[in-house]
Amino acid sequence: MKADPAGVLTGAHYLDGDFACGEGAMAAGCRFVAGYPITPSTEVVERISRRFPMMGGIFIQMEDELASMAAVVGASWTGTKSMTVTSGPGFSLMMENIGLGAMMEAPCVVVNVQRGGPSTGLPTMVGQADIMQARWGSHGDYELIALSPQSPQEAFDLTIDAFNLSEIYRVPVMFMMDECVGHMTEKVVIPPAEEIEVVPRKLSKLKPEEYWPYSVNGGDIPEMVRAGDGYRFHTTGLTHDHRGYPDMSAECQELCVRRLVEKIKHNADKIVRFEEEETDGADVVVVTYGITARVARMGIEMARKKGVKVGVIRLIVIWPFPEKRIRELAGMVKAFVVPEINYGQIVLEVERCAAGKAAAVPVSHGGGGVHDPNDVCQAILGAAK
Amino acid sequence: MSKITTDETEILAQQHPIAPYLRMDRMPHIWCPTCGIGTVVKCYATALEQSGVDLDKVAVVSGIGCTGRVAGYMKLDAFHTTHGRAIPFATGLKLGRPEMLVTVFSGDGDLAGIGGNHLIHTGRRNIDMLVILVNNFIYGMTGGQNAPTTPIPARSSTMPYGNFEPPFNLPHLVASCGATYVARWTSLHIRRLTKSFNEAIHRKGFRFIEVIAPCSTLYARLNKLGTGFHLMQFYHDHAEIHHGIDTREVGIGYQDTIICGKFIDEEKPTFLELMNNHYRKVLGDKFVPMPLEGGMIREQD
Ligand SMILES: Cc1ncc(C[n+]2csc(CCOP(=O)(O)OP(=O)(O)O)c2C)c(N)n1
Ligand code: SF4
Ligand SMILES: [Mg+2]
C-alpha cells in the first residue's frame, strides 16, 4: 500500500543520515520508538521525538537499551510498527531481546549507527565492527536481515525497505549505518506519499478458534494477529509448537528453530541486494559497504588507471549475504579485496564463499577514521599480481 | 510435577470455576504441590470475572521463573518474555495500543532483581499497568538461589550459611517511585487478594500488588519450614492487616510478622495522560494522539 502522508516530509532536503533514517521510519509508518540516548545515533530519535506528536506516534526514552528493545517487541504485537535506535554499547544490551524478537517473530527495526569499539571505544567516531554481531550477537540459532546505507539518501530509502522486509519475513531487521553516513549531510529527496510503497501488517483472517500463532501450513512464515483483537493467543521465548506452547523436546526444537533459520535462507534470493559494477572480466573484485564503499571508490579508480580490471560488489543487504554471486565470481577472478572498518568480518564471509577459488584480501582499519584510498589501491594492485 | 490423567483433565476442564480463563489444554501445570502461585492465578482469574472488563483487551505479560509461567496458562493475549523484561515489554504493548489492559505477572527475582531498574522507572513514569509480584523469597525456577527479597538470615542454595544481604521492602520501593496503588497480601488471603485485584483492575496508573506465597519445594525445604501447608499456617498466625500504614514499616524479617493490606490508593495522571495533556497544551491542534486501538496502518478498504 501507499505511505500515510502524515509521516512523509515530501521535498528536497539537506539532511544528515541520522535525520534521513528518522524520516524514512516515519514515512514507512513507524509509530512507536523506544530508545536510550547514545552517540552517534541520538539524532535519529531527536528528529522523531520532534515530529511524532503530529502524526500519532509515541517516542519513549527508556531506562536502558534492554528496556528499549523489550518495549519494541511488545509494541510490535499491537500491530504498531516499532523501532529502536542505538550504537555499539547499546546494541550489545539489545541482543537479549533481539533474540526474543527473532523467536517470537515480531517485525521491528533496530538501527545501529556504528562507532568504534569494543566497549565504549570511540563514541563519536566511525566503525564498522558490529557486522558479525548483527548476524550472531544474540545466543542460539536464528537468521535475520541487515542493511547498510552509503548515503543519507539511502538512509531514508533503505529504512523504508527495512520496515517492509521486517513485515514480510517477520524478523527484527538490523539497520547497520555507520557514524560517517549518520553524520554526513547531503541532499535527500523524499518523494510524495503516493510514490512510497509500504508493507502493512498482514493480519490473519482466520477466526480465533481456528487460529494458532505459529501454524505455517507448509510455508515458511506464520500469519500474525495482534494483541487486543480477541484471539487470546500465547507467545513465548521458549521453544514452542505451532500453538505457541512451550515444548521442551528435541523434535520441537528442530521444527521451531529450523524454520526460523530457513524462512530467511529459502527466501535469500529475494532478500539479497547489492550493486555490481564492471565484474565482467575483472581481475579483482572489491566487496564493500557503507561509508567504505564511497571511500574505496578513489582507490578503485587509482588501480584502474594502473591497468587493473577492478569490479565492485557493494552490499546493500549485508545479511543474508550474496553467497551465490560471490561463489560464481570466485571462479572467474583472481581475488576479492574487502576494505572495511574492522579487523576482518565480511572478508570472512567472502573467503568462505570463495572456498579457495580466489583469494580474499582484507583491508583493515580499526576505526576512528576511514581508509586511505591508497591502501585500497595497493591492496588491489597486490591482489592482481 | 504432579501427574493427572487425560480423563481427569477433562473433568477438571468442566468443573474448575476458572477453567474458561485458563489454557486447559496445557494442564497439568508445572508447579509443585502446595506451591502458592496457582492460588494467586485463581484469585486473579476470579477478579477478572468479577471485574466485568472486556477480556479481549486484557493482556498478561510474564518474565521468566516459576511465576513467569503464569502467562503460558492464561487464556488471554499472553506473553512469556525474557528474564526481567516483562515490564518494559508491557510498556510497549500499552503504548502501542493504549486501550489494552495490561497485567504483568512475575516473580520477585524477575521483577525486583534483574528487572529492578524497569520496576522503578515504570513506577516513576506511572505507566498504566497492574503488576502482580509473587514473592516467595527465593529464585524458585533455578533451584532456590538467593533473591533480593530473601530475608536475613534465611538459607538459600547460594547462601548456604544463611543470607546476610538486606532485602528490599518492595511496597516501600514502588511507593517511593510513585505507584498509584500498592497492596500486599499472602496467598492465604484469598478473598482479600481477589478483592484487591478487582479493585486494582479498575484503577489507573502503575499499580503494584505483592503476594507472599509459599515455595514449598525450595524455600520451605532449605529452611526446614515444612510444606506449603505449614507456610500457610505461618501466614495465618503471623500476617497482620494494617491498611494505609506507612510503607517504611512493612519490611519483612525472617519468619516474622507479615504486614498486609492496602497501603496506597490514589489517583495520579498516567504517562499517557501526562503526555497527551502536555502535547495538547503546547502543540494545540497540531497534536495527534496515538489512537486507542493503536498505530497500525491498514489498507484502505
Ligand atoms: C538473563 C537470564 N539470566 C538468568 C536466567 C535464569 N533464571 C530463570 S528464572 C530465574 C529466577 C526467577 O526467580 P523469581 O522471579 O523469583 O521466580 P520464581 O521462580 O521464584 O517464581 C533465573 C535466575 C534467565 N532465564 N535469564
Ligand atoms: S519450585 Fe517453588 S516456586 Fe517453583 S513451582 Fe515449586 S514450589 Fe512453586
Ligand atoms: Mg521467587
Segment A310-364, tens digit of pLDDT: 999 999 999 999 999 999 999 999 999 999 999 999 999 999 999 999 999 999 9
C-alpha A30/C-alpha B295 separation (Å) is 8
Q: Please, which residues bridge with residue B103 across strands?
A: B60, B130
Do residue B80 and residue A81 have CB atoms under 8 angstroms apart?
no
> By percentage, how much of chain A surpasses pLDDT 70?
100
Q: How far is the CA of B72 from the centre of ligand 1 (A)?
A: 16
Q: Give the separation between CA A166 and CA A172, rounded to whole angstroms.
A: 6
Task: For residues A167 and A223, give the distance between their C-alpha atoms in angstroms, rounded to a whole number.
Answer: 11
- CB-CB neighbours of B250 under 10 Å: 22
Shortest CB distance from A31 goes to which of B85, B287, B290?
B290
pLDDT recorded at residue B7: 59
Beta carbons within 8 Å of A130's beta carbon, 6+ residues apart: A88, A91, A112, A114, A117, A137, A176
**Domains within chain A, CATH numbers bracketed:** 5-195 (3.40.50.970), 275-384 (3.40.50.920)
Query: Which of B296, B298, B301 is the mutation pick for testing A, counting most A CBs within 10 A?
Result: B296
Per-residue pLDDT band for B298 (boundaries 50, 70, 90) equals: confident
Give the pLDDT confidence of B40-76 residue by residue, as tens digits.
999 999 999 999 999 999 999 999 999 999 999 999 9
| CA nearest ligand 1 atom 10, residue | B65
What is the pLDDT at residue A101?
A: 98
Is A288:A361 a contact under the CB 8 Å cutoff? no
Contact status of B1 with chain A (Cβ, < 8 Å): no
Cα B82 to middle of ligand 1, angstroms: 9
Per-residue CA distances from B3 to A48, B23, B35, B73 (Å) = 54, 17, 15, 17
Pocket test for ligand 1, best of B37, B41, B142 (most atoms within 8 A of CB): B142
Q: What is the mean pLDDT of residues B167-178?
A: 98
Query: What spacing in Å lies between the alpha carbon of B156 and ligand 3's midpoint?
Result: 11
Separation of alpha carbons A52 and A362, rounded Å = 42
pLDDT tens, residue by residue, A121-135? 999 999 999 999 999
Nearest to B288 among A56, A80, A198 (CB): A56
Three-state DSSP state, B216: helix
pLDDT in tens, B93-143: 999 999 999 999 999 999 999 999 999 999 999 999 999 999 999 999 999
Q: Reading across the β-sheet that carries B258-265, which strands appear in turn?
A: A234-236, B77-80, B58-62, B101-107, B129-135, B206-212, B181-186, B258-265, B239-241
Nearest CA to B170 among B150, B196, B191?
B150
Among B187, B216, B223, say which to mutate for ligand 2: greatest number of ligand atoms within 8 Å of CB: B216
Distance from the CA of B198 to the center of ligand 2, in angstroms?
25
User: Ligand 1, atom 24: nearest CA belongs to which residue?
Assistant: B83
Residue A203, classed as helix, strand or coil, is strand
- pLDDT grade, residue B195 (50/70/90)? very high
Residues of A in contact with B293 (CB under 8 A): 228
By the 8 A CB rule, do B88 and B116 touch?
no
Nearest CA owner, ligand 1 atom 6: B142
- Per-residue confidence at B23, pLDDT binned at 50, 70, 90? very high
Is pLDDT at B3 greater than 60 in this prediction?
no
> Does ligand 2 have an atom closer than 6 angstroms to the CB of B218?
yes
> Which residues have CB under 6 Å of ligand 1?
B 64-67, 83, 106-110, 134, 136, 138-142, 147
Q: Whose CA is nearest to atom 2 of ligand 2?
A: B215
Lowest-confidence region among A28-42, A211-225, B11-25, B32-46: B11-25
- For strand A32-35 and strand A82-86, is the pairing parallel, antiparallel, or unpaired? parallel
Q: Is A238 left (phi over 0), alpha (psi -120 to 50) or beta?
A: beta
CA–CA min distance B53, chain A (Å): 13
pLDDT at position A91 = 98
Q: How far is A162 from chain B (nearest CA, A)?
A: 16
What does the pLDDT average to over A237-254? 98
**What pLDDT was estimated at residue B1?**
41
- From atom 6 of ligand 2, which residue's Cα is the shortest distance away? B32
Under the banding of pLDDT at 50, 70 and 90, the label for residue A217 is: confident
Write out the three cell numbers for B95: 503504548
pLDDT value at B36 more than 50: yes
Measure A193 CA to nearest chain B CA, in Å: 14
Reported ipTM: the value is 0.98
Report chain B residues whose CB lies below 8 A from the CB of A58.
95-96, 275, 290, 295
From the list A71, A79, A243, which residue is nearest B296 (CB)?
A: A79
Residue B56: closest CA among chain A residues belongs to which residue?
A230
pLDDT at residue B10 in the model: 60
Spans of all domains in chain B = 6-286
For range A177-196, the mean pLDDT: 98
- Judged against a pLDDT cut of 60, whether residue B4 lies above it is answered with no
Q: Which residue of A has its CA nearest to B77?
A: A232
**Smallest CA separation from ligand 1 atom 9, residue:** B65
**Smallest-distance ligand from the CA of B215:** 2
Residue B181 Cβ inside 6 Å of ligand 2? The answer reads no
Of A66, A80, A96, the CB nearest to B97: A80
Per the prediction, chain A carries an average pLDDT of 98
| Closest-approaching ligand to the CA atom of B115 | 1
B210 alpha carbon – ligand 3 mean position (Å): 12
What pLDDT does residue B301 have?
A: 46
- Compute the average pLDDT of residues A201-227: 95
Dihedrals phi, psi of B107, to nearest 5 degrees: -90, 175
B153 close contact with A: CB closer than 8 A: no
Give residue B297's pLDDT: 84
Which numbered atom of ligand 2 lies nearest the CA of B141? Answer: 4
Architecture of the CATH domain B6-286: 3-Layer(aba) Sandwich (3.40)
CB atoms A68 and B118 under 8 Å: no
* Residues in contact with A268: Cβ distance below 8 Å, sequence separation at least 6, in sequence order: A320, A323
pLDDT of B189 over the 70 cut? yes
Average pLDDT over residues B188-210: 98
- The alpha carbon of B215 and the centre of ligand 1 are apart by a number of angstroms equal to 14
Q: Which helix (H) or strand (E) covers residue A146, if one does? A: strand A145-147
C-alpha span between B162 and B222 (Å, rounded): 10
- The reported pLDDT for the residue numbered B16 is 87
pLDDT, mean of residues A253-276: 98
Name the residue of B29, B80, B110 to mutate for ligand 1: max ligand atoms within 8 A of Cβ.
B110
Would you state the pLDDT for residue B299?
A: 72
Q: Starting from the CA of residue B35, give the closest ligand.
A: 2
pLDDT band at residue B13 under the 50/70/90 scheme: low
B296 — pLDDT class (breaks 50, 70, 90): very high
Pick from B30, B32, B64 the residue to mutate for probing ligand 1's pocket: most ligand atoms within 8 Å of its CB. B64
- B97 and A227 in contact by Cβ < 8 A? yes
B165: Cβ–Cβ under 8 A, 6 or more apart, which residues? B146, B148, B150, B152, B159
What integer best gives the mean pLDDT of chain B? 95
Contact across the interface for B92 and A236, Cβ inside 8 Å = no
What integer is the mean pLDDT of B244-256?
98
Judged on CB neighbours under 10 Å (0-12, 13-18, 19+), A12 is exposed
Strand partners, A286: A312, A337
Residue A252 CA to ligand 1 center (angstroms) comes to: 23
SS3 B134: strand
Give the confidence band of B2 by pLDDT, cuts at 50, 70, 90: very low
pLDDT in tens, A71-94: 999 999 999 999 999 999 999 999
Q: What is the mean pLDDT of residues B159-182?
A: 98
Q: Pick from A71, A228, A246: which is nearest to B91 by CB? A: A71
